Amino acid sequence: MLKSKHLIGLEHFPTSDLNKIIDTSFKFKEILESPERKAILLKGKTIVNMFFENSTRTKISFTLAEKRLGADSINFSSSTSSVKKGETLKDTIQNIDAMKIDGAVIRHGHPGSALKLTEYIDGAVINAGDGSHEHPTQAILDMVTLKEKFGKIKNLKVGIIGDILNSRVARSDIFALKKLGAKIVVCGPSTLLPSNAKQLGVNITHNIEEVLSWCDVVIGLRIQLERMHLGRIPSKREYHSEFGLTYERISKLKKDIVIMHPGPMNRGVEIDSKIADSENAVILDQVLNGVASRMSILYLLLADKPENL
């Protein structure tokens, strides 16, 4: 049983709940790797996935996790809904809640939208990414991937490279990694680093060689091409040259480091294809662990009496 009713963000999420979700994810991973691949633990529960922003990984893995748990899963896409006719978020949500749902997964461009949803919905709310605020389920699957790879997260040296300023993944990863005792260095151009990076409790460098030679694992972040017009980086080519996870940089390291990326990737910008597809990359393991982690989150938040599996 978790202390939390919802999963809105990791900044104030109890560490005991975070650890419980991570540990239970490994049980679900075993189930996913068994011939059956299912555990009908949420039969009779109805979950609506509300995506007001595009998604591939998060939307599919929530839908799959719900099906693997035997829940009734409904997908709502704002682009084909009455939102297009001017219906407000509040009305949309209240109408969906009137149909008696047990849980809601929401991705929305506005920071705070998942928290707002808890005012209108009786069931559990799970944040699937709210603007540049948090993406807690991505961070949880990242923690599962790290624990799977290294056996523990305490004292792990983690470098996070890229657009820290606009990245909900970076914020949630930092909150999770700090709770679990990892050491963190963030790296990027000063225009893409938040002014409160020190307050976030992380070290900062603008030198990618320095962070790569220090870390055990590097998380490359997507350069948000939709924000290019803001002029925070001179060009994709210059970003790649200064901050890219290039084959040249990684191959000259005197040790192996694990490469992670939440996706979607801009190959040839923040990461070279040769690195993304290399043996050290665990990017597709992250995706599989996303299904197991989301099964764990849904089970622990929605089951009437979740038990130790």
Of 24 and 49, CB closest to ligand CP = 49
Contact indicator for 187, 207 with CB cutoff of 8 Å? yes
Least distance between ligand CP and beta carbon 199 (Å): 25
Of 109 and 264, CB closest to ligand CP = 264
Nearest to 128 by CA among 54, 67, 194: 54
Residue with tokens 């990694």: 177
- Does the protein bind ligand CP through residue 263 (CB under 6 A)? yes
Contact indicator for 211, 218 with CB cutoff of 8 Å? yes
Q: Is residue 214 packed enough to be buried (19+ CB in 10 Å), middle (13-18) or exposed (0-12)?
A: middle
- Does the protein bind ligand CP through residue 57 (CB under 6 A)? yes
- Does the protein bind ligand CP through residue 264 (CB under 6 A)? yes
8-state DSSP, 165: T
Of 253 and 284, CB closest to ligand CP = 284
- Does the protein bind ligand CP through residue 58 (CB under 6 A)? yes
Contact indicator for 67, 31 with CB cutoff of 8 Å? no
Task: Please name every residue paired with 50 in a beta bridge, in sequence order, or none if there are none.
Answer: 76, 106
Least distance between ligand CP and beta carbon 228 (Å): 18
Site for ligand CP in 1-40 (CB under 6 A): none
Contact indicator for 216, 187 with CB cutoff of 8 Å? no
Of 205 and 224, CB closest to ligand CP = 224
Least distance between ligand CP and beta carbon 52 (Å): 12
Least distance between ligand CP and beta carbon 305 (Å): 31
Would you tell me the crossing angle of helices 283-302 and 136-150 to the nearest 10 degrees?
Answer: 120
- Does the protein bind ligand CP through residue 55 (CB under 6 A)? yes
103, 159, 244, 262: which one binds ligand CP (CB under 6 A): 262
Least distance between ligand CP and beta carbon 173 (Å): 11
- Does the protein bind ligand CP through residue 79 (CB under 6 A)? no
- Does the protein bind ligand CP through residue 131 (CB under 6 A)? no
Nearest to 256 by CA among 272, 278, 273: 278
- Does the protein bind ligand CP through residue 138 (CB under 6 A)? yes
15, 34, 56, 190: which one binds ligand CP (CB under 6 A): 56
Between the CA of residue 250 and those of 74, 93, 189, 255, what are the distances in Å? Answer: 43, 47, 19, 9
Contact indicator for 139, 129 with CB cutoff of 8 Å? no
Q: Which residues are near ligand CP by CB under 6 A?
A: 55-58, 129, 138, 262-264
